[in-house]
Structure 1
Amino acid sequence: MNATGDDSVVWKGHLMIARTRGQRPVMRAAAAAAAGALLVGGLAACSASGGDDTADGGVREVDFWGWVPGLEDLVAQWNEENPEIQVSFHRMTGDDGQKVEAAVDAGQGPDLVQLSTHDLPDYVIAERVIDITDYVAEDESNYTPASWASVSFDGRVYGVPQGIGPAGTMYRTDIFEQYGLEFPETWDEYLDAARALKAANPDMYIANLSPSEIGQWAQEIQQAESSWYGIDGDAWTVGVNDEGSQLVAERWQTLLDEGLVTTEQMWTPEYWALVNNGTIATISYAAWFPSILAENASGLAGQWAVAPLPKNAGSENSGDSGGAAVVVLKNTEDAEAAAEFASWLNGSDDTQETLITVGGLFPSTLNGLASPALLSENEFYGGQVINEVFIESAEETPATWVEGPNYGTIQTAILDEFAKVINGEQTFLEALDIAQAAAIADLEARGLSVVQ
């Protein structure tokens, strides 16, 4: 099931970003060597070739790499309607992302690439992408604030958002009805519901706390208007253990200490067994997760519904587990044409239905959020129009999240420490302190300025 509620496509989003200024890491010799080898595989032909044609008034050419289903059809539509700018498309698979990095660092590569926003800070710092503010600034009003913030820093724009992952909570309606419980609107009520379920049935748990799934944690951090990273002048700040993170940590520490959650690794057969046998009553995750749940728990059709992510006290905020963007790479010979296509692809009224129904994207654009394509009833969820919940979530997500340049490092540090929490070796608060120190050390090792 994709963003429309059918089972044809699943797309999983990513987290948001920012960048720092005045820092430029040195490309490793190994990366340069790898680039030379990879260029033999076809990337050498990917650099833009429209410069001379543009000067002569000929056809401008743009090479675009991406992975979302349906992009071929949209490229064909563009080419038919825009004979003066012709786009070629390459579907990304396997290690194509690494190939693009190596090629760009070697002076080659396509004009445009679809990119996880996890990776955008490193691309900006390494100067693999260019500032496209002058070409797309007027598009900002058509995007959710959080998605536009994910491609921006200090008023400059480095990509066009493409898809987001607003959060909601899937829950077993039959279980809540059986025990006379209303679905909780706040996290305090959620804790009360967890205790009530456990008291009524010792084998019942409100949720599963997976030590390996960072996105569920991150969406609640953003909901609390916190962020792992920030920018202070020309330096990074690190907030892995900030006030909002501590709020989330204390919540899940209570649920864990009181035995109100299971702790299976997500995506495993053991996890899906808990889902299918009715051991866990709720799952909080992004707009792309309902399709995965329906596929893996098909026998429970009609027994699940989707509700808003419970709120923090005094707040209406929701959260988001991330998105992607289309960026213009530094070796392009026609940045204007590349940005024009990216703007049309992600933001045009003409593309939203295909991106939603074929691509499986949950839109980052306001016109996409208003699309009837999002509003189909979902049989697995009892005929509910589940995207109404996720549309509201997208509108309630604060534009406060900042992704740093070492997402992989911080993710590994957090998950390593969370595993120790699950094993009873330390608390979540202690884990956050350790991950905070690891994130700072990694930034400093990269030669980036950090304010503590």
Structure 2
Amino acid sequence: MFQRILAAVAAALLLASCGIGGGASGNDGDGPTVITYWSWISGSQELVDRFNATHDDVQVAFERVPAGTAGGYSNMFNAVRAGRAPDVVTVEYPQLPGFVTQRVVQPLEPFGLDELEPEFPDWAWQQTALGGRLSALPLNIGPTVLFYRADLFEEYGYQPPTTWAEYRATAERLRADHPDATMTNFGSNDAALFAALAWQAGAEWYDTSSGHWQVSGVDEPTTRVAEYWESLIADDLVTVGPTFEEQHVTALQEGTSLTLIGGPWTAANISRFVPELAGAWGAVPLPAWEEGGAASANYGGSSLAIPEGAEHAEEAAEFIRWAATSPEAVDAIAGVNTSYPAHLGQAEVWGPGIEAANPFVAGMNLPDAAAEAAATVDPDWEWGPDMTVGFARLVDETTTGLDRPGGLADALRRWQDATRAQLRQRGFDVSG
């Protein structure tokens, strides 16, 4: 993926990485080298504290920045351009291609991190190995699962749905049995979630295999997803609104919204907003489109990258390697962050660790559900070169399209056409 389009950019970055300069971190010549790490992810301070306690030659100074799309990415871009780059940054997978095409991060082959490829799922590695070069190291991933009120399902005599047809049938039964309840809330403010649902169905919003950018928001799988959720909305089987805002939280508290689609990290959000429901939740793989089928997608997760101009790239690579591969790193954040590790070895110890450290997760079946989902993620997915703008546009379009039949499909077509125009305006070769 991205081989023809990004290879030239990646090669230029590889050459540039040999002349590292700038940055504000360092040492006094006698003590350890101090590197800076910018992130907003829960557990980052605990991660840094554990690294610092177990390493003598390198120490990490953690600086919390706003969430990426809330200003953190702009801060990173500006710091690199001003010659004040930090040594390590967190970058989510949808945004990484933008960091590569705009030459904000450097390739990681000079530091030997490409040797770790066999230790990660192929699909996760593909999210960071762009244009034939490794631009970041996967840290955690979001194999999509279904959280459900296990206590209410048992009380009502329901079984967790294994297909989307069963999901709708359960929603219809719930509506008939309990008219004040719905199956879930369709997050009108979450373009990444809709992307995950389309990904699971087999969609390909972006495709560079032809050597050009191909953009499609109305392919058959995406249309299938849109029509499915439009029908649930039209029949009042689900509510619509921002996820985890007041109305949604109230429905969760009152037991009138019975499921949530999310990544393993969503468990931490549930525990934060409805802590009184500890022990009430279960987790299963996402319903499949076909009976007996198994497919998931990635929703969330992030990677670690070294910006251009980082003053201590070698030391930064040491920290990245440890954070992404050491069981100690998983243990350090288990009590505050339920994200699923991308590294296969870390994933093996994550389940017992997360259940022991987080009582809310204990008994939820999250480790098994996440592992099964991670093994069935469709690898044929690419992100566009500017998903910050792409997601914002998709939210704008879909929010206005949810109030009428066919509105979601129309919104996706408008998103597709606007995205193609934007990429052409930026000089990308776009077909279609």
TM-score normalised by the chain length of structure 2: 0.85
> Equivalent residue of 1:107, what SS?
coil
Whether the 8 Å contact between 1:317 and 1:396 is mirrored in structure 2 is yes
- Alignment-derived partner of residue 364 in structure 1: 342
Whether the 8 Å contact between 2:171 and 2:182 is mirrored in structure 1 is yes
- 2:79 counterpart (103, 112, 118): 103
Once residues 285 and 18 of structure 1 are traced to their aligned partners in structure 2, the CA distance between those partners, rounded to angstroms, is 31
- Alignment-derived partner of residue 21 in structure 1: 6
- Alignment-derived partner of residue 421 in structure 2: 441
Report how far residue 321 of structure 1 moved. Answer: 0.8
> Equivalent residue of 2:283, what SS?
strand
Whether the 8 Å contact between 2:330 and 2:341 is mirrored in structure 1 is yes
Once residues 326 and 361 of structure 2 are traced to their aligned partners in structure 1, the CA distance between those partners, rounded to angstroms, is 30
Seen in structure 2, the aligned counterparts of structure 1 residues 108 and 318 have a Cα distance that, compared at 3 Å, is same
- Alignment-derived partner of residue 319 in structure 1: 297
- Alignment-derived partner of residue 247 in structure 2: 270
Of stretches 431-440 and 217-226 in structure 1, the one that deviates more from structure 2 is: 217-226
- Alignment-derived partner of residue 238 in structure 1: 215
Percent identity, aligned pairs only, is: 27
Of stretches 355-364 and 254-263 in structure 1, the one that deviates more from structure 2 is: 355-364
The amino acid of 1:428's aligned partner reads L
Seen in structure 2, the aligned counterparts of structure 1 residues 358 and 285 have a Cα distance that, compared at 3 Å, is closer
Whether the 8 Å contact between 1:137 and 1:157 is mirrored in structure 2 is yes
Report how far residue 339 of structure 1 moved. Answer: 2.4
Give unmatched runs, 5+ long, in structure 1: 1-15, 25-43
- 1:150 counterpart (123, 127, 135): 127
Once residues 405 and 219 of structure 2 are traced to their aligned partners in structure 1, the CA distance between those partners, rounded to angstroms, is 22
Whether the 8 Å contact between 1:171 and 1:281 is mirrored in structure 2 is yes
- 1:184 counterpart (137, 161, 171): 161
Report how far residue 447 of structure 1 moved. Answer: 1.2
- Alignment-derived partner of residue 14 in structure 2: none
Whether the 8 Å contact between 1:17 and 1:403 is mirrored in structure 2 is no
The amino acid of 1:90's aligned partner reads F
> Equivalent residue of 1:164, what SS?
strand
> Equivalent residue of 1:170, what SS?
strand
- 2:61 counterpart (89, 93, 109): 89
Whether the 8 Å contact between 2:146 and 2:262 is mirrored in structure 1 is yes
> Does the alignment pair 1:387 with 2:367?
yes
Report how far residue 19 of structure 1 moved. Answer: 9.7
> Does the alignment pair 1:118 with 2:94?
yes
Once residues 17 and 192 of structure 1 are traced to their aligned partners in structure 2, the CA distance between those partners, rounded to angstroms, is 40
Count of aligned pairs between the two proteins: 410
Seen in structure 2, the aligned counterparts of structure 1 residues 325 and 302 have a Cα distance that, compared at 3 Å, is closer
- Alignment-derived partner of residue 407 in structure 1: 387
Seen in structure 2, the aligned counterparts of structure 1 residues 19 and 346 have a Cα distance that, compared at 3 Å, is farther
- 1:348 counterpart (321, 326, 349): 326
Seen in structure 2, the aligned counterparts of structure 1 residues 275 and 436 have a Cα distance that, compared at 3 Å, is same
Report how far residue 351 of structure 1 moved. Answer: 2.7
Of stretches 123-132 and 207-216 in structure 1, the one that deviates more from structure 2 is: 207-216
Report how far residue 161 of structure 1 moved. Answer: 1.0
Q: Deviations over 1:371-407 (max 9, x none)?
A: 0313439654673342221122222222233221221
> Does the alignment pair 1:429 with 2:406?
no
Seen in structure 2, the aligned counterparts of structure 1 residues 88 and 383 have a Cα distance that, compared at 3 Å, is closer
> Does the alignment pair 1:215 with 2:192?
yes
> Equivalent residue of 1:204, what SS?
coil
Q: Deviations over 1:209-252 (max 9, x none)?
A: 12112232122122123232221354222132222211211211
Once residues 325 and 358 of structure 2 are traced to their aligned partners in structure 1, the CA distance between those partners, rounded to angstroms, is 26
The amino acid of 2:77's aligned partner reads E
Whether the 8 Å contact between 1:210 and 1:264 is mirrored in structure 2 is yes
> Does the alignment pair 1:397 with 2:377?
yes
- 1:65 counterpart (38, 42, 50): 38
Seen in structure 2, the aligned counterparts of structure 1 residues 154 and 210 have a Cα distance that, compared at 3 Å, is same
Report how far residue 434 of structure 1 moved. Answer: 1.1
Of stretches 148-157 and 97-106 in structure 1, the one that deviates more from structure 2 is: 97-106
TM-score normalised by the chain length of structure 1: 0.81
Q: Deviations over 1:108-139 (max 9, x none)?
A: 31232222333322211111111213421111
Give unmatched runs, 5+ long, in structure 2: 10-20
Report how far residue 204 of structure 1 moved. Answer: 2.4
The amino acid of 1:383's aligned partner reads G
Seen in structure 2, the aligned counterparts of structure 1 residues 331 and 194 have a Cα distance that, compared at 3 Å, is same
Structure 1 segment 165-180 matched on structure 2, within 5 A: 165-180=142-157
> Equivalent residue of 1:410, what SS?
helix
- RMSD, matched Cα: 3.1
The amino acid of 1:321's aligned partner reads Y
Report how far residue 435 of structure 1 moved. Answer: 0.9
Report how far residue 334 of structure 1 moved. Answer: 5.2
Whether the 8 Å contact between 1:207 and 1:283 is mirrored in structure 2 is yes
Q: Deviations over 1:381-440 (max 9, x none)?
A: 673342221122222222233221221222122222222232227432222111111111
The amino acid of 1:346's aligned partner reads A
> Does the alignment pair 1:226 with 2:203?
yes
- 1:139 counterpart (111, 116, 125): 116
The amino acid of 1:376's aligned partner reads A
